[in-house]
Amino acid sequence: MEAELRMKPGDVVRHFKGKMYEILCFAKDSETQEALVVYRALYGERDVWVRPQEMFFSAVDREKYPDAGQAYRFERAEG
């Protein structure tokens, strides 16, 4: 899948609202087979989250967030 080519487990990514996360792995929902991203917050209690790949790699909604500083919901952090 294209999403897996753009980013991989271990990559540090920035959410468009500014917080940092680490991609842990890609997974599939056992019931629906939907492709998911499993990721960990790199702040606070370092919670682990899961989000559908389609949403994880989606563009920022410019109507809702016209001043967002990046094009996609999550982008690889430079550095």
Q: Which domains does the chain have, with CATH numbers?
A: 2-76 (2.30.30.320)
In the structure, what pLDDT confidence band is assigned to residue 17 with cuts at 50, 70 and 90? very high
Q: How far apart are CA 63 and CA 79, in angstroms?
A: 30
Mean pLDDT of the chain: 92
Element containing residue 71 per DSSP (H, E): none
Q: Does residue 5 have a pLDDT over 70?
A: no
Q: How far apart are CA 51 and CA 15, in angstroms?
A: 13
pLDDT at 60 over 50: yes
